Amino acid sequence: MWADSAYPVQSWCIAPFKRPAADLPENRIFNYWLSRIRIRSEHVMGFLKGRFQSLKGLRQQIKDQQDHCLAVEWIRTCLIIHTLIHDIEQSTNGRDPDFEEELIELGLEGTEEAEDAEEGGAPAEEDEAHMTPGQKALNKLKRSLFASGIIGRPS
């Protein structure tokens, strides 16, 4: 799961490097690309919430497995309808970028973005012996990004 730096790094939750580790050039580049992924993901959520107001503050109290399944089915149904609309818009050239921007803004309206914390996080040194499982996962992902050749290492 992608998260902002307000969340602790876990093996299942990837958050940006925090200071002082964020000051290293390699970590700064990694944080930039992670931020781009998070922003795109937030825009997708905003777009869906703008198109389906019922997803904005989903009014489903989850008390048990059945309630959870109902909420998941509601979200799944909205995604299916969205996909159908998208396919129709693509086949008829009915895509309107301005309207899409409005949906994103409408969907993100009223959400609270956590401010990026600047302290703590992964150690600046890649000393795996002193890292939590989450910090190890974060460093592994960073190494994979640079090893992919998509972006170059800082000079």
| pLDDT tens string 12-55 | 888 888 888 888 888 899 889 888 888 888 888 888 888 888 88
The tens digit of pLDDT for each residue in 48-97 reads 888 888 888 777 778 899 989 999 999 999 999 999 988 888 877 766 77
Q: Hey, which residues does 2 pair with through a beta bridge?
A: 14
The tens digit of pLDDT for each residue in 114-139 reads 333 333 444 445 566 777 777 777 78
Helix (H, G, I), strand (E, B) or coil at 2: strand
Q: What stretches of the chain show up as alpha helix (H) in DSSP?
A: 25-51, 65-91, 97-108, 133-147
Q: Which residues contact 31 (CB under 8 A, 6 or more apart)?
A: 16, 17, 22
Contact 28, 22 (CB under 8 A): yes
pTM of the prediction?
A: 0.59
